[in-house]
Each structure stands twice: as C-alpha cells, then as structure tokens.
Chains A and B, each alone.
Chain A
Amino acid sequence: MAEAEESRAGGAAKPLFAGLSDVSISEDIPVEGEITVPVGSHSPDEDYSTLDEPVKDTIMRDLKAVGKKFVHVMYPKKSSALLRDWDLWGPLVLCVSLALMLQGGSADSKEDGGPQFAEVFVIIWFGAVVITLNSKLLGGTISFFQSLCVLGYCVLPLTVAMLVCRLVLLASSGTVSFIVRLVVVMAMFGWSTLASTAFLADSQPPNRKALVVYPIFLFYFIISWMILTFTPQ
C-alpha cells in the first residue's frame, strides 16, 4: 500500500534521492564515532598568540633560529633544521655584511677596482638562484627556498674569512699576510663547499651529483676570489 502511493507520487515528479527516505539502519550494526568538531587546536605551536608577547621575545626567537642554523653550518651534521625550517634572514645578513666588508678598497671608482656593493649582492643572490634552478632542472627534489637557504647560510665560513682577512690587512700587507690570507680563504672555501654539498647532495639523483656539485664549487670559488683579491686603499 505504501509502495503504491509512493510510486504514484513518484510518477508525477520524482525528486532526487527520493528512495533514501526508505533507508533504515538495522539495529544490528553499531554505529560509532564523534560528530562534534573539535574547536580548539591541539598542536603546541598554536597554543599561544604571538601578538601579545613582548617584541624582545619575537626578535630573540628569530635570532635564535638563525644562530642555530649558523651552528649547523659550522658543524655540518645530518640535520634537517636548515632544510625543513628554512629562512632567508641569515643569508641576507651574511650577504650584506660580506658586501659591506668588500667595500673600502680602491676607492677610485673610475678605474677597475673591486666589486661594488651591488655587484657582490647580485652575484651572491643571482648565483644562488641559478644554482638552485640548475639542481631542480637536473631532477633534484629539494625545494627552491630550501636550496637558497642552504647556499646562503654556507657563505658563513667565507664571511668569517673576510673578517680575518681585513684584520690581517690592518696589521700588514706584505707577502706573509698574503700567505696567511690565502691559507685562511682556501680553508674556508673548502669548508663552505663541503658544508653545502653535505646538505644538498642527498636530494639529487645519484648519477648527476657531480653535475650539481660543480656549480656550487664555482660559486664559492668566485666569492673566495673576491675575498682574496681585496686590497685596501
């Protein structure tokens, strides 16, 4: 009876999902689960709002992250801090300080002097972008900004070398100081290249590792050359 009425009503204008009203869940099958949506989040990072904290805390948190990455560069172990939590503050600070320290030599800008600030800046950032693109085009699995972050942070040993070179040049500028500078720059160049290779080489296909490492070698070699040939006025 009910089915006859149902079919007559259905024949006139059958709405969508009309048959679903007939569906009933048998009592034999237990239905379980929560249907309430949890309101508060459970992850610890979102438990506090960073808007109310003092400015010093905000700055110190970022500074500590940058400092932790500096330590990871100087002692390159297999850690994912550089890769996973990438940031570009460290590279920016290093690049600006290196470019500033490379100024002040051969102030007669009309002749062929050392690199200008903009030239150092462009070389470091454009070089890092080109190397990242190269590794991605060769089939690497690292993300763009992670690779920029690693390459930028691994300029740290060379910045230390630049500092040492400037201090040595304050003392003397003869052959002995040149040899000291050469040894320091070469050691830091090797350290930079090894550190960045340790972080970046794993994400490359195995038979193309040398193709990816060579541009990194060239990049740090050029920066080392700029540091070594710095002559104060």
Chain B
Amino acid sequence: MLGENEELSRLIINCLSRDLQGNSEIFACLALHAIANISGREMATSLLNEVQQLLVSGSHTSFVRKKAALCLLRLFRKFPEIFEAIDWAPKILYMMDDRDFGTALGVASLVTALAQVYPEAYYGAVTKAVNRLHKIVIEKDFTSEYVYYKIAVPWLQVKLLRLLQYFPGPADLQVFRRLNDVLAYIISHSAEVPKNVQHNNAQNAILFEAINLCIHLDPASELVDQTLGLLSNFIIAKETNSRYLALETMCHLAATGARNCLDSLRVNQDTIVASLKDKDISVRRRALDLLYSMCDQNNVRVIVAELLQYLPIADFAIREEMVLKIAILTEKFAMEYSWYVDVVLQLITVAGEFVSDDIWFRVVQIITNNEVLQEYAVATILTALRSPTCHETTVKVGGCVLGEYGHLIANMPGCAPIDQFTALHTKFPICSVQTRALLLTTYVKFMNLFPEIKGEIIAVFKQHQSVLDVELQQRANEYLRLATRDDGDELLQTVCEEMPAYPERESALLLKLNQKIADTEDKRTWIIGGKDANTEVAKAKAIRDAAIAAAGGAGTNGVPRPVAAGKGLLKTFEDKLQESNNPPAGSTEEADLLKAIELSKLDMPDGGLSETIQKPTTPAAAPTVDALGAGVIDYSLAKPVVKALSGGMDDSTLYSRLVTAANGLLHRDANLEIGLKTEYREHIGRIAIFFGNRSSHAITSLAAEIQADPKQVRVTLLQPLPSIIPPGTQLHQIYKVECLGVCDPLSLLNVACAIGDGISLNVPVNLSLRLPILLTKFVTPIQLPANDFFQRWKQIGGPPRESQAVFRPASGTVVATSDLAKIITSLGLGIIKYVDDSPLSVVGAGIFNASELGKVGCMVRLEKNEQYEMYRLTVRTTNEIVSDVLRAQIEECVALHI
C-alpha cells in the first residue's frame, strides 16, 4: 500500500523514530520491519543512525538486535552510499561475538555484505568467524535449544563458512590451523547419511559450504582430495538435490583449474556425462556447466563428441546454451583447424536453428584469418552444402567462404566454378531474404573469380531485377550494372578485391556468455568456466574499474570500453555483416557510381509496392442461396457423427483430438495402448510414441514404423523400440520429423505385434493408425500490426494463391467467435486483432516452415453467418499448394469443432 516514494512515508519518519527510541520492544520491532520494507532514501538517511544504535547499544533484547542487523543489511543493499561502513566497522565486528546465535547470524549476514565492498575494514571478521566456528564445532559451546536435528546452529555455520570465502585465507598461522581443524572435523563427520530429510539438508548445507571454502583456500590441499571422494559419491546419489549441489561444487572445483582436481574429475567423467541425461533439467544444466568447465586440450575431443551426440536429443531449453558452449570449447582448445571446421559444421547441421549469428560470424572470421585453413574449409563446406539436410546457416557460411576463397579449390575434381555455383544456387529458393541477399553478393564475387560462369550469374540477377523485396532488387540491379559495364571489368575487380584479414578480436562468444552472468547482490566468488575464464574476468574487471576511475577523473561521461592489451575493440557483428554483404566502398568514384545506380533505380517500376493500402472490403456477410447450391459442402450431412458409435474411444476420435493437441492417445484396446507425445519447433519435430501393455501377458515381436511420403516428410528414428513389452509396462520410441515440403495428412503408423492370450501364445495383431503429422504442426504463430497484415494480404491477391471454402458445421450450428479463435490458435496461427471490426470473424497469421520449401507466410480469415449457420474460410499464403492443404485442414477442424 505504502510505496517508498509516497509523500505520506515522509510524515511517518518521526513516528518511527519515536518507536525506535522508546522502551517497548514490540514497537521497535515493528518500526524496524517497516523501515526494512518501505524505506525510501529520505527515511533511510534520517533513521540509519538510530537503527545502528539499536544494534550496538547492548541495552536491547537479542530479538531487537537481530532485527536491527537485518534492517541495516537491507538499507545497505538499497543505499550503499549513505553508509559510513568504515567508521562502524569495529562496532559491527564486535557484535559478531554476540552470545545470542540469532543476533550473530544476522550480524554475519550484514558483515558478509559489507565485506564485499570494504574488505580491508572488515578483515577482522576472519579471526572472529574462525573462532566462533571453532567454538561451535569443536568445543561444542552452545546451549541445547540451538541444536537442530543434532547439529548446532547449522545456518550460522553456513553463514560463517560463506563469509570466509570472501577473504583470502587467514594469515595468522594459529588461526589457519584452527580453521583447518574445523573443516577437517566437518568433512570427516559427514560420511554417514542421516535418515531424516531436514537433518540431511542441514548437514549437507554445512558440508557443501565447507567444501567450497576448502576449494577457495587451497584447491591443492589434502582436504580437497578427501572431499572429492565424498563428491563423487554424491553425484551418483539417489537424492536429486545432492546430485545437483555436488555437480555445482565440482564446477567450482574445475573453475580453479588445479591439476589434481581436474585429474580426479576426469575419473568421474563418465558419471558426469551420464548426468547429462538425467531426468531433471536442473541437473542437466549443472552437468553441462561442469563439462564446460573441466574441458581442456586433453579431453576436449571426448567432451565435444559427447556433447554433440547429446545435442539432438537435448531439450530445446538448453540447446542454445549448449551450442554456444560447444563453439567456445572448440575454438579455445582446438589443436588443429580442420577439426574445428568439422565440429562447427556438424554443429550447424545438428542444431542449425540454435546457432546464433555470432557463432558463424566467428567461423568466417577464423577462416579469413588463417590462410592454412582456407582450402580445407572451402572443400568441406562445399561437401556440406551438397548434402540434402544442409541448414540455412551452412548456406550463409558457404556463401561467405566460397565467394572469397572458391578459387582455391577450383581445380579439384567436382569443384569447378559451375559446380560451386549450382551447389549454392539449389539452396537459394529456400533461404530467407537476408541469406539470399548474401548469396547475390557471393555471385558477384564469383563473377570476378570465374569469368566463365558470368552468363549464368547474369541470368540470376536479371531474374531478381523486379522482385518484391527492395533489398534484393537493389542488389540485383547494382550488381547487374556493375557486371555489364564496358570498361573491361576493371571496376568489378576493384570492388571484389579479397577481404583483408580481420583485426585480432576477443571472442564475441565469450563476451556473450559472460554477459549472461548478471550482477547479483552477493557477488559470486567464482564463475562457471575454466581457470582462464576466472582469471580473465578478474582482469577485465580490473581494467574496467580503472577505466571508470579514469573517466571519472577526466570528468567525461562516456566510460571507455575495456581494451585488453593487444586486442582491438570488438566491432559489432552487424558492421561485419555489412562489410561482407556490401562490396567495400574504397574510392569516392566508386561510391558515386553506386549512388548513380541507386538514383536510376528509382525510376523503375516498383512491383506494385507503392500501391495505396486499402482495407479489403468485407466480403458480403451472408453467402447467398446460389452459393449453397454448388460450392457449399455440408458437413452435417456428409459426415455421420462418429463419436456416438463407440463411446468416444475409437481411433478416429482419438486422432481428431490429436489434430490440435500435442499429446494424447492414438489407440486403445484391451491389450494395447498407444500414446503420442510431440514437440514441434519450426520445421523440426520430435515424436515419442508410447506403447503400453494392458494385458496380463507379454506382447512380443513388436515392430512399429512411421509411413510417410519421403518427399514431403523425413522421418528419422532416434530411439528404437524393444520388441517385447512385459505386462503392465510402457515403452517408447522416439522419432525426429523434418518437414521438407507440403505434408498431406496421410502419414501412418504401422504396428505389428503378437499378443499372448494365455492359450496359444501368438495372436498376431496388425494396426495401421493415422498419425497427425500435419502441415499445421509446422506452423508458428506470428503477430502483425493490422496495417502490415492488409499489405501482405493484398500482395498475395486472389486465386491461385488464395483458397476459399464455404461450409456448414457438422453440428448444424456455428459456435461462438471466441471458440473459433481458440481453434485457430490451436492450429498454430496467431490471432491478429483490430483487422476486422466485425464480431463474426477471426483473422490469424502464421509461418509454415519446411526445410526444402522454405518459409511460407499464411494468412487466414474465418467468418461465420449465424443466420444461415455457415462458415466461410479464406486462406492466403505465398504458396498455392500450402493454401489448399491448410484450408482443407482448418476447414475440417472448424466443421467438426475439434
């Protein structure tokens, strides 16, 4: 109710102040609570001293002191600059020895926060913390009320252990020995696993914190060696929490980069790799981080191979991170360049859509800067381009690299200029506009490198002279003019000179990864990544601090970005893309020419772009009686209602549910139950088919396969199915589905098996089930402003790219508009609002993704007529076949109201 910036909060400052100074403990506590929760800057400044007095005065009960400590901590977090932390240090440190454990805990939290900012002033905390720990752990100096599941004040122990991690190890030898005793005691007394969950938690919390402290003090010490045994037990433990924390701690260990740790971690490498397949995504993430941290020259091959193998079946949620990490590891530890190129290409093939631009920019950079690598890289990429599964990113890399270095392999068999050109150009139609633009640039470079294929290339340019997209059109025209000048290609040669090597840069990938590690209130004492990463971060931080200090001194506002010795600033990659896309404008003459071309272009007819945008006139709302006669399909008559026949459980009902749902049953009878789980991302999908044995006998010789049109859908089996299902169990197989072209709804799942009935063992069963691998599954929703929608709608125009149908619903009555919107959404389309004012229609848009056909924009308009109980559906897409198939599918869903 009362925010920190409200006027009113100023008025209560005096009240609060009175409460703080008063005698009542309850009032003081409430006031502290209020300050902690709602104080603004003004309140904090005026009450800070009083709060601090409460903490150190000693005349108050421990409860008030505890609250005061936490209130101070909160204020420090919010407004660190108003704190006179250094002056207060002795008093606050003195409070650490408070006899009351609760107060000590609060003060310890406060000191932890202060010590991160003022380490010198609070250095005294080390000795105090060690002594306190020694008292609790070894001298057992505590009263019984503080024992929690047989452990004395566990959270104070945890807090103190963590506090110590923010300081270097104690310099005083005696203190150091005491600390060592404490740690050794904790570690040696944690071997047995308590039964009680709370007890176990408390014990493990202390243990993990102690291990972290050991690692912080000296990763090569004997204590750490001892803990390694414990940790490796934990990562195979049944309890997930322990596995998770153990992996995290190991990650810390790997981050120190101490020899002995890495060696012993390597012993556990198999277990860690197995954790990548853990059921729990949190554990998988930790395992990934750990593998990333423990990787070095020696095991990089093994680890990268494992990661690559796991990548295709990893969750979508962590794939991007995995791809990034694999790319960094290969770059950092690659011993030979050919391996680097191989891995990155494999990465693009396996998980192309997760390869961010940064990654392939980096590849191109590295290839450009290493002459030795170029020939091999070009040859490999050309082979990759020829494979049918090649991803758009491969095309981009191919475009950049072939254009620059294609001539290096022109004499090899099968790599003649025309071969290179065809390899690229067959992929041209399925690429996005951006990639096509890049390819056009590649072609102009080819023209310079290989004059013999000039004819083909000019044909391509001519073809694109009047495409809809302005960028493509501009390039095609400019390049065409450049090619057909009659100065003997002199200009062309200047424009297409080989790219200069890039200045040595910091890897943008590392930057990206580090950016992800956001600032937190308590600083981390380490970060994920190998030793280098940790030292680098420390260095970068030092440089940045220096830079900020310098900027402050000079009184400038702009903080210079850190410039590591010998490394240039990182240019944004957009710049780079620009460079690679556009021929470098070297001389002014050239620039003028380009300008001239641009001017001349303005006169050209502009494929209908300048047409004014009009709202399409709303088609007559009521289909006339004429329409009823010929074109109207009446679902209520044509399709007898199947549902009533068999209690709603027959295969076709189950199928129709799956048309919109991602998961569900495919088939169910007394013996066998087949379920389906699907996950789609653009043109790729994963399908898991579950087979459950409901009978009391084993199902044998089970075989199942998906039958689909190989030209339209590519189905790959990822996880095969055992041939026997014991009674009462469920098994599954996993497929990867890739949509190549327009998939029609005729995919089948053929299942053959033998079911024992107790008398004769084998009753053969053959099933053929429709599988909903439908076009709509590969559609991703998009949101457009209404204006854009109209523009595109008009651009596509009427038939053949429009498909329309008028039909009656199966139930005989139309449903509410909101239900129609639900159907449209469930089919993967995004609802576009404010397009049509009529409450009787729904408008949607989406993108259909297919790897060979490319991306197809889909727009749908569904209207209903309540008077005649009919629907009219209009589908416009950029591809006429897609229009028809999509229309048919939506029509079916709407008519049957699935």
Q: Do A and B bind each other?
A: no
